[in-house]
Structure 1
Amino acid sequence: MHNHESTGIAGESPTIVLLGNANVGKSVIFGLLTGKYVDVSNYPGTTVEISRGILPFSRNGKMVLIDSPGINSLIPRSEDERITRDILLDKRHEGVIQVVDAKNLKRGLFITLQLAEAGIPFIQVLNVYDEAAERGIDVDRKELEKILGVRVIPTVATERRGIPELKQNIHDFRPPSISIKFNEKIENAIREISLLLPETSISKRSLSTMLLSRDESLITKLKENFRDFDLNKVGKVIEDTQKHFKDPMSYVIQQERHVVVNDIYNQCVKNGGGVKSLFRTKLGNLSMHPLWGIPILLFVLYFMYKFVGEFGAGVAVDFMEETVFGKYINPWVAILIDTILPIPIVHDAFVGDYGIITMGLTYAVSIVLPIVSFFFIFFGILEDSGYLPRLTVMSNKIFKKMGLSGKAVLPMVLGLGCDTMATLTVRILETRKERIIATLLLALGIPCSAQLGVVLGMMGGISERALMVVIITVLIQLIIVGYLASKVIPGKSSDFLMELPPIRIPKLSNIFIKTYYRVKWFLIEAVPLFIIGTFS
């Protein structure tokens, strides 16, 4: 099966897939292995598209690493999970690197069992091993390797610990030895369905359990790619088997996996006392509290105003505009142009009152760029600190009124940086109705970084009250439009489930790397528009 359009994967180079739950550090590891930057955030769902990079140290020539979206299961409930499932289904890869959060090992083991059922050779990476140790969670690596039959490598990706070992063993993909035997009725159904299935890059047993779990997207995919696929016969086996169970078979299968996961966990994990940061834990809880979360949010907004609105839009802009451009760049360019091409029309075009340099470049680089840069730094701190997911929890009730879940905070906040990027992330919302409403709100009420830079620059020169008026006006507009849209647009809203990362102290290196690439995007995408504007 080769449906490259659905996954964005093309080419014949051998591939390795980076796979795991959301927010386990896949993107950090991807960057360390490939030397390629992707948007690394402490928030589920920020890998907004399939990223690929070459492994420069691979001994097998041009080996491609694919960073897949975060998942909770290979039986998809969202677009991200469907894409990841299709990546495994569309092409036979050399292997999979499964990244697991060491402190949430059980969650990762559910995917491990599904990879084992699929017959996919893989390496398991136990990331954030240090945070697990802080919580008194001691994972016996050797015992886990013995149980699973694959190589297990502990890492702390943000500190590059364990990455050299991963690079050294990047091709040590082993077929897992762990297996699970389901209820006899389900096993019989698996055998019957397997006889009706075509050969693909994953095992027929895995496909059978997906079909028994009512994976509608898989049925559609098999029908599209295999003319001989007999849906009626498969459907009859599923219906006949379901009659033996009161609960849906997806639930029965998951419960049996749950038993195996608990057994593995109990064999290889020891829970000690651990040393937790009580302050960070309490701060994380308070930031989600319906009462105390509000003053924390107001403090965050106030600090953003001081950092971005006053320092960025005030001190930094004044320095860039008056000193860098006013005293040096603009006068030097004017002298250079008058010396080389002493023609009035050329002088006016470049350094006149509305010139490319004196207006277009000066406005973009000396006024908007400092504000945007400081905003990106601040936004990176919010991402990596773990505050954004907590803001999601706190704002869930408000978003429910607009037909959305708290997850909509992510595209809304990302929209302050780039509306295009934010629109791509609406796919993390589970229903079509939610995605339409979120896209509508982004288009109508969320200013992008360039617009935000202008707003903060203007308001920073007036007062804090002026900024609050703008913020309140935008919020009221969003709430009204969202509420009306939720009444007009048909469909259902999804349930709200959110994996909360711990409150962390952000890594400065990661903040500056992200800021660099986002500023680079601004310079490439936005600055030309300012220059073009000088001709209008």
Structure 2
Amino acid sequence: MPQFDDKENKVLLMGPPNVGKSVIFNHLTGLDSAIANYSGTTVDYKKGRITFEKDEIYLIDVPGTYTLNSSNEAEQVAVDMLNKGASLLVVVLDANNIESSIYLLLQILEKGIPAIAVLNRIDLLEEKGYSFAAEAFAEELEIDIVETVAVKEYGLSKLKKKIREKLQIETQNDLANNINASWENAERLSNKYLNKKNKKEKNKREELGDKLSSPWPGIPMAILILAFIFAIVVGIGMGLRQYILLPFFRTLVFPLIYRLVSAFTTEGIIRNILVGEYGFLIKGLEWPFALVLPYVLSFYTALSLLEDSGYMPRLAVLLDGLFNKIGLTGGNIIPLLLGYGCAIPGIAATRALATRKERITVAALISLAVPCISQTGALISLLAEESILVMFLVFLVSFLAIIGAAIVMDKSIEGENEPLILEIPPLLIPDPKMILKKVWLRLKMYISDGALMMIYAIAAAALLYELGILEQIGRIFQPVIENWLLMPSEASVPLILGVVRRELAVLPLLEMGLNSVQLFVGAVVALFYVPCIAVLAILAREFNFIFATKIFVFTVGFSFLVGGIFARIGLLFI
């Protein structure tokens, strides 16, 4: 890949957020792409390779930005990339929000770099009864323009051909002197080339979109939608686990593994490491793939539906008033929801928040009280069959902890939150093909970043357990575990494993024969317990090592404190 100072054969893909840049990038580069970190920042971007017969160019998917007046770190990276120059700019415009897109285009064209405009989502424009005179617009600005519907791959082959043609032109006009980048000029161009074809009543989808953004009936509908999403996650996850994956592993896979291991090993430490109490050939398959994977699959399916339907920004608008009362904004719901998938993308998504105060607050909330989907799956596996009530109580505790911590942090951290400014996209029917692609990509990420790490941790635990080292370490925790949390001493093992993977603070509890109170206490301690190593690493990268250390110390202390309090309350009900 070229360095950013190297302009030759480097094409920048630019545009506002949520305009379809990623779809265009994935189509143009196929599988020949990677995610990189921009030097000196914590902002990620995608880079890929496009091959034209013997020619090869490099495509950079620049972080989305509404204007070049950068207001956060991601937008500043976009400006820096642009300032370093390129052979060609591909600027994606949102046909559904054309005036603001034109303003960004004018700002970019002021740089004088050859450019192609891509007018995406023209289907939504036509659906509203409008047309845009793209050719006349392009002629006035002296640029090439391609009309696309990225999610349907309409126009993308033409775009690829146009990129090649543009790069082959040896001399290109310097347009910088012909551009007046102002909102007045953007409004003039929008009014001049955007035409109303016919009067069109709002369709049912637009009417539903308006209702979902209004307090009434938006808030009751939000409750129903989120309850439905929770039911999908729990219901589908439990169904896959109970009726497909567990029977598959326990009746077909595990007996075969036991027979093979017994045939090649004798009784003793080697066999125990492989198929014993923490045998990694058994637990290393059962925990990540039979107990957790079903909930990962159902959660990411539900999350992709929320994202691709355009509902998440509407949820942010609805929650803004409520969130303001606890020191958050509606826009904070997006990284929080991502945190329920995995803390790492949730914390990374705080880069788009307007103030450092918001970033610190949301990152701390995710680290403290937002269980990732792997841990959520473990919690449901631990609690659902024993007591649905206990399961709901654990998630209620999580919800109340988020509210309480947000209020405390709002009062203790200096600074103000910026008011919510959010573009509301049209309500769309998710494309099943795109949903499958997103879920597949996220499942691959879970397997590579989550399941494999879990297997490694289980293998290490099996070795340490058989060598007696886990027992020795557990004795350090024993007074706290037995006397304060009122749980058996072997419950110290999950706390050791939980530092590696959060869900491992829960899964070993499944086989300890705990009563309902002990299950609840164990689940609460696991909920608030220290984030896994990967989360601590990204906290140190996004903020600093001191912040990550504070999170580590606080979560350990808070989890034991709250767990002990609930253990004593539980004594009243035994």
TM interval, shorter chain, is 0.7 to 0.9
CA contact (8 A) 1:371 1:457 kept: no
What is the one-letter code of the residue matched to 2:204?
Answer: F
CA deviation after TM superposition for structure 1 residue 139, in Å: 1.0
Q: How far apart in 1 are the matches of 2:59 and 2:361? A: 34
**525, 528, 533: which one aligns with 2:449:** 525
Q: How far apart in 2 are the matches of 1:156 and 1:514? A: 18
CA contact (8 A) 2:236 2:294 kept: no
Listed as ranges, the matches of 1:81-230 within 5 Å are 81-89=75-83, 91-171=84-164, 172=166, 175=173, 177=175
**72, 75, 78: which one aligns with 1:78:** 72
Work out whether 1:21 is the aligned partner of 2:16. yes
- 2:39 aligns to what? none
CA contact (8 A) 1:310 1:460 kept: no
What is the one-letter code of the residue matched to 2:138?
Answer: E
CA contact (8 A) 2:92 2:118 kept: yes
What is the one-letter code of the residue matched to 1:25?
Answer: G
CA deviation after TM superposition for structure 1 residue 403, in Å: 3.0
Matched residue SS, 2:321: helix
Work out whether 1:280 is the aligned partner of 2:201. no
**Cα 1:501/1:153, change in 2 over 3 Å:** same
Task: Specify which structure has the bigger relative contact order, considering alpha-carbon pairs within 8 angstroms and separated by 6 or more residues.
Answer: 1
Looking at secondary structure, tell me which structure has more helix per residue.
2
TM-score normalised to the size of structure 1? 0.78
Q: Which stretch of structure 1 is more off in the superposition, 282-291 or 68-77?
A: 282-291
Deviations along 1:424-471, one digit per CA (max 9) or x if unpaired, are 110111111111111111111111121111123344435655444333
CA deviation after TM superposition for structure 1 residue 141, in Å: 1.9
Work out whether 1:516 is the aligned partner of 2:440. yes
CA deviation after TM superposition for structure 1 residue 493, in Å: 1.2
Deviations along 1:451-494, one digit per CA (max 9) or x if unpaired, are 11112334443565544433332222111111111111111211
**358, 363, 381: which one aligns with 1:434:** 358
- 2:475 aligns to what? none
CA contact (8 A) 1:74 1:111 kept: yes
Work out whether 1:345 is the aligned partner of 2:269. yes
CA deviation after TM superposition for structure 1 residue 303, in Å: 1.6
Q: How far apart in 2 are the matches of 1:464 and 1:143? A: 63
Deviations along 1:387-415, one digit per CA (max 9) or x if unpaired, are 11111111112222333321111110000
CA contact (8 A) 1:150 1:175 kept: no
**190, 196, 214: which one aligns with 1:289:** 214
Q: How far apart in 1 are the matches of 2:379 and 2:257? A: 29
- 1:30 aligns to what? 25
What is the one-letter code of the residue matched to 1:150?
Answer: I
Matched residue SS, 1:96: strand
What is the one-letter code of the residue matched to 2:236?
Answer: F
Matched residue SS, 1:126: strand
CA contact (8 A) 1:334 1:347 kept: no
Q: How far apart in 2 are the matches of 1:12 and 1:175? A: 17
**277, 281, 304: which one aligns with 2:229:** 304
Matched residue SS, 2:281: helix
What is the one-letter code of the residue matched to 2:234?
Answer: G
Deviations along 1:292-318, one digit per CA (max 9) or x if unpaired, are 2232222223222322212212x2001
Deviations along 1:484-505, one digit per CA (max 9) or x if unpaired, are 1111111121121100111111
Deviations along 1:103-141, one digit per CA (max 9) or x if unpaired, are 211111101111222112110000011111101121112
**371, 375, 381: which one aligns with 2:299:** 375
**333, 344, 354: which one aligns with 1:420:** 344
**403, 426, 430: which one aligns with 1:479:** 403
What is the one-letter code of the residue matched to 2:307?
Answer: E
Matched residue SS, 2:93: strand
Matched residue SS, 1:154: strand
Structure 1: which 5+ runs fail to align?
Answer: 41-46, 183-253
**Cα 1:21/1:423, change in 2 over 3 Å:** same
CA contact (8 A) 1:137 1:274 kept: no
CA contact (8 A) 2:14 2:61 kept: yes
Matched residue SS, 1:304: helix
Work out whether 1:330 is the aligned partner of 2:254. yes
CA contact (8 A) 2:33 2:49 kept: no
CA contact (8 A) 1:97 1:123 kept: yes
**Cα 1:179/1:281, change in 2 over 3 Å:** farther
**Cα 1:389/1:32, change in 2 over 3 Å:** same
**357, 376, 381: which one aligns with 2:281:** 357
**Cα 1:292/1:446, change in 2 over 3 Å:** same
Work out whether 1:68 is the aligned partner of 2:57. no
**Cα 1:10/1:516, change in 2 over 3 Å:** farther
**Cα 1:439/1:275, change in 2 over 3 Å:** same
Q: How far apart in 2 are the matches of 1:508 and 1:268? A: 34
**Cα 1:398/1:176, change in 2 over 3 Å:** farther
TM-score normalised to the size of structure 2? 0.73
What is the one-letter code of the residue matched to 1:334?
Answer: Y
CA contact (8 A) 1:19 1:69 kept: yes
CA contact (8 A) 1:147 1:177 kept: no
CA contact (8 A) 2:12 2:61 kept: yes
Matched residue SS, 1:99: strand
Q: How far apart in 1 are the matches of 2:435 and 2:301? A: 6
CA deviation after TM superposition for structure 1 residue 72, in Å: 1.3
- Count of matched residue positions in the alignment of Structure 1 and Structure 2: 448
Work out whether 1:266 is the aligned partner of 2:191. yes
CA deviation after TM superposition for structure 1 residue 286, in Å: 2.2
Name the % identity: 29
Matched residue SS, 2:13: strand
Work out whether 1:396 is the aligned partner of 2:320. yes
What is the one-letter code of the residue matched to 2:381?
Answer: G
